[in-house]
Amino acid sequence: MGSQGGWGQSKEFLDLVKSIGEARSKAEEDRIILREIDTLKRRIAEPDVPRRKMKEYLIRLVYVEMLGHDASFGYIHAVKMTHDDSLLLKRTGYLAVTLFLNEDHDLIILIVNTIQKDLRSDNYLIVCAALTAVCKLINEETIPAVLPQVVELLGHSKEAVRKKAVLALHRFYQRAPNSVSHLISNFRKRLCDNDPGVMGATLCPLFDLIKEDINSYKDLVVSFVSILKQVAERRLPKTYDYHQMPAPFIQIKLLKILALLGSGDKQASGHMYTILGDIFRKSEPSSNIGNAVLYECICCVSSIFPNPKLLEAAVEATSRFLKSDSHNLKYMGIDALGRLIKINPDIAEEHQLAVIDCLEDPDDTLKRKTFELLYKMTKSSNVEVIVDRMIDYMRSINDNHYKTEIASRCVELAEQFAPSNQWFIQTMNKVFEHAGDLVNVRVAHNLMRLIAEGFGEDDEGADSQLRSSAVDSYLCILGEPKLPSVFLQVICWVLGEYGTTDGKYSASYIIGKLCDVAEAHSTDDTVKAYTISAIMKICAFEIAVGRKVELLPECQSLIDELSASHSTDLQQRAYELQALLGLDSQAVESVMPSDASCEDIEIDKNLSFLDSFVNQSMEKGARPYIPENERSGMFNIGNFRSQYQHEASSHSLRFEAYELPKPSPPPTIPQVVLPLPTTDLVPVPEQTYPRETHHAPNLPSATDASSVDFGVKLRLEGVQRKWGRPTYSSPSASSSSSTQKTANGATHLDGRTVSSQTRDNFYDSRKQQAEVSAEKQKLAASLFGASTAKSEKRQLPTHKTPKGVPTTAEKPAVKGAISSSEPPKEKTVPSSPPPDLLDLGEPTPASTPSIDPFKQLEGLLGPTSAPSAIDHSSAAGPKTPDLMALYTDTPPAAVSSGSLNPELADIYTVNKNSHGTTNVAAMNKGQNRQDSLQKDATARQVGVTPTENNPSLFRDLLG
Amino acid sequence: MAIRFILLVNKQGQTRLAQYYEYLTLEERRALEGEIVRKCLARTEQQCSFVEHRNYKIVYRRYASLFFLVGVDNDEVCPSVLLNELAILEFIHLVVETMDRHFRNVCELDIMFHLETAHFMLEEMVMNGCIVETSKTNILTPIQLMDKAS
């Protein structure tokens, strides 16, 4: 078993692993584990279990939990194991504890003492083990117990300890920022550590700190740039290289930090331009890691203060991503494009067809990323196409998490950019129909408000047109089965308010429809409440204009049913409707004024109209009012209970105070704070019927004349209009899209002359475009086409046209331009000598001190492992290229190329052409093959044989 | 950008290693692992190596029968510092290369028989949900010293 010196485990353990490996179903695996739990429970409780044996039991417990079963009976043994003197056993104990317990578990307190002791150990590996445990187990309360020791260890002579101490401090910062706020300066110090590992690890806490407070770290920009420069110039030890890239993961972290620091800061960004240009130039587009660094560079460039040269390089890299065959790169390209268009929206046009390909790709991940991009580039000219696409996609998926997200995005875009009322209503209908139960209730309230208010201002005709079109469409939709509750509420409300307004539909027709709704949704009290209120409104409007209302039989039975309802709210509404039917037209009109939903209700918060009543009562000896916060809970309850006792029989009451009206959600609808003790209205919990509540004050006047005093007045201030202005008329949108049909990429090339001839010329010259189907082009045109409003912006690319046209042909020229302009750049940037501490030194001196300790270690390791440690630096030949060769962008090669058992691999190959790879791999790794055979032999000895059930067990991961 | 979990799952959906960097209950883990594996198994080689799942973005890579999955935060609180999926993908490969150097031609069984060693490697590479060490020598030295000592 390689460097592990054979199978040091017991037969029992090997059998367990073997049987788990061979389990063919989850059920079988569960049976094995349940049996194992029984065994372990017996064994672990035996007296005097040898320590080695106990370690194995712990690993078996880890298996039990990993496979989804409870192993809490053994937790205490893991805790005990952390006391052990042996490093391996101690670390295994810590590992088991971190895997089993979360930091708030009761047993943690037993470990704190051990950790404290281990932090003081002379063996730095024990200190490291303890620090690793600190990161996972110490919670806010126990931080003070270890904090002084951790701070002390920041200055430890071993770099591994310093690194872990930095991370422990980082963990404390994550858990409780205040506990270490006075120690933040330590992170700055450690950034200058001689050891690159410590420096690299320190970037993690610094990144978090900078994210929170960018301005306090502006002084570090020069340091970060200088570190990045040294990393890019390969001054770090070779062990950090990955696929020939110098410390790419550190580069990426640094680029992320620079992106933060340079955001919107011209001066800070100025320091970064040179090094970013260097990284672009040195980039390695053939490897994944090279592209990862490149992508991070693009992100950085798009975040910092724009620099034209760098942007050009970023655009070029992005377009290479988008043109790639790899889906991963396309994905990164779409993301990068989304960042770049924030700086210059015209960049997208060149890639429109690539974007549409991604949009139509069957790969869901790519599709969603593309929707994200479209969301970012939505404007009034393309909103219709984009939202339509989004809704289509929303319809096709089942994932509620994402459905909710895309639905809210649709609503947001529709609210912002809607070209017309009709379109908005239609769109909202679709969103509600397909994701109704997932959208926020607020969206429904917004929609009702919009229909009620229309576009306000002068155009009353358009408003009423909007309402009748809403009524028309809702009457249509009502025929469909299974509408979401929220949507039905909107429909009922609109039908109640405006169903009969334009005279197109008779009152009895609408009432009939509403009764159908109530009948079809007999379990949904909210919907029923909305229907009965809507019916009441329609009846009221009829009576007010002097028509006689004759209730349909189904309506009468609905009222009867609701009057006997268990819901007091429904009962109330039903009784009110009945009472209203008995009133004369004048009374009805004042109770239920037509189209009064927009009118605001003035709230007399002091309830001054009650003053005389209060005084009267006081004179009669009533106790004065005690503010809520001054009375005890019992008194409070008693007070309410006497009021509502008769209703409380079947329902429990909310005894806590009702929430105050929230000011933000529907700003136009001030909630009526009902003076509870004085009206006999049942207060409606706010979140259930927020829209309806403001009708409530009108109702009681039927029974309680005093409530007219509430006063109904208009109040329009503070009414926020989220809505796009009606200026975007649909004709302009359609005309622009028709011109863009042919324009396509050509508009990008020359925005000023959009005459049809030049367009055609360009069109012909671009063969690539000609091959694309007309349908896609149409889509592209409608998505990317420029609206007339954007013509000024268009000026930008026209300046660039000379460079922009030959994007592919003249790449070298562009590159040349960058490099030729670079030297003067360097002169201008004040290249202040990097601080001594930060300078990781010349390549040779830097590597010797950092390698020195390892040399010692290698001495410890003995001759066998020494070569492998040197491998990467001197003899990088055999191993690294081998990995590189196998590790290509096409995973299939790696998938099934098992060098271990060629025949087996052959039988179970997933990929046909893998056989060739297999042989190549086997030949390349002559030595490894021998290893594998040995491994195989040992495996057979132990009794684990590759069978049809577990062929994969023996397939090498790397092939 | 924080790593939330690292999972090794074989193509039968059996967990081979699980390391979480946030606390989830046993039931939550079980459910999450099942859902993710189902999602990833349904994907083809040509598709992206990234999948969204609930509030995670999952970057995965398949080696022979074993899937390596890394779950990363997917909340867009700070859109300027979104994750670099490609870098995570390469990080997975770094993990595999490191294991390969230690176990010499690593296979699923190596990880199963030496689960704790595999965990120790991850402990060196990832802490607090961040990638903290990428030098194979630095990662493996403490582990080799420990083996030597015991």
Is residue A486 within 8 Å of A407, Cβ to Cβ? no
Residue B122 forms contact with A (CB below 8 Å): no
Best residue of A10, A17, A29, A66 to probe chain B, by most B CBs closer than 10 Å = A66
Alpha-carbon distance of A294 to A719, in angstroms, equals 47
pLDDT, residue A737, reads 40
**Using CB atoms, which residue from B30, B99, B109 is nearest to A954?**
B109
* Spatial contact of A265 and A233, defined as CB atoms under 8 Å apart: no
B109·A68 Cβ contact <8 A: no
Look at A314-328, A357-371, B63-77 and tell me which has the smallest mean pLDDT. Answer: B63-77
Whether B54 has its CB under 8 Å from any CB of chain A: the answer is yes
Residue A854: CA atoms inside 13 Å, Cβ hemisphere, count? 23
DSSP string covering A103-152: TT-TTHHHHHHHHHHHHT-SSHHHHHHHHHHHHHH--TTTHHHHHHHHHH
| B14 has a chain A CB within 8 A of its CB | yes
Q: Cα–Cα distance between B30 and B34 in angstroms, integer?
A: 6
Give the mean pLDDT of chain A. 74
Write down the pLDDT at residue A291. Answer: 95
Residue A135 is predicted with a pLDDT of 95
pLDDT class of A712 with cuts at 50, 70, 90: very low
Q: B38 — contact with chain A (CB < 8 Å)?
A: no
List the structure tokens of A275: 């090094």
Q: How confident is the model at residue A632 (pLDDT cuts 50, 70, 90)?
A: low
The per-residue pLDDT for A861 is: 46
Is A812 a residue whose pLDDT tops 80?
A: no
Q: Which chain A residue has the Cα nearest residue B18?
A: A66
Query: What pLDDT shows up at residue A734?
Result: 40
Cβ-Cβ contacts under 8 Å for A212 (sequence gap 6 or more):
none
User: Between the CA of residue A100 and those of A76, A644, B27, what are the distances in Å?
Assistant: 10, 52, 13
Q: Does B113 contact A932 at a Cβ distance shorter than 8 Å?
A: no
pLDDT at B112 > cutoff 50: yes
Q: What is the pLDDT of residue A656?
A: 54
- pLDDT tops 50 at residue A340: yes
Task: Dump pLDDT digits (tens) for A45-97.
Answer: 998 899 999 999 999 999 999 999 999 999 999 999 999 999 999 999 999 99
Q: Which two tokens stand for residue A895?
A: 């998938």
Which residue from A76, A73, A79, A1 is spatially nearest to A38, judged by alpha carbons? A73
Q: Which residue has the higher pLDDT, B16 or A746?
A: B16
Residue A710's pLDDT is what?
Answer: 45
- pLDDT by residue (tens digit) across A289-331? 999 999 999 999 999 999 999 999 999 999 999 999 999 999 9
Which residue in B1, B47, B64 is closest to A365 by CB distance? B47
Specify the DSSP class assigned to residue A787: P
pLDDT value of position B138:
95
Residues 6+ apart with CB under 8 A from A471: A494, A495, A498, A499, A501, A502, A504, A505
**DSSP run (H or E) holding A33:** helix A26-44
- pLDDT surpassing 60 at residue A687: no
Q: Which residue has the higher pLDDT, B104 or A547?
A: B104
Q: Is the ipTM of this complex over 0.90?
A: yes
Residue-wise pLDDT tens digits, A392-429: 999 888 888 888 888 888 988 988 888 887 888 888 88
Segment A870-880 mean pLDDT = 41
User: Which pLDDT value is given to residue A546?
Assistant: 80
Contacts A406 to B, Cβ<8 Å: none
Is A282 in contact with A241 (CB distance < 8 Å)?
no
Q: In chain B, which residues have their Cβ closer than 8 Å to the Cβ of A404?
A: none
Residue A1 has pLDDT above 50, yes or no: no
pLDDT bin (cut points 50, 70, 90) of residue A251 is very high
Among the ranges given (A275-289, A540-554, A837-851), the one the predictor scored with the smallest mean pLDDT: A837-851
CB contact under 8 A, B136 and A239: yes
The answer regarding whether domain B3-144 maps to CATH 3.30.450.60 reads yes
Of A17, A67, A237, the CB nearest to B113: A17
Question: How confident is the model at residue B1, as a pLDDT?
Answer: 57
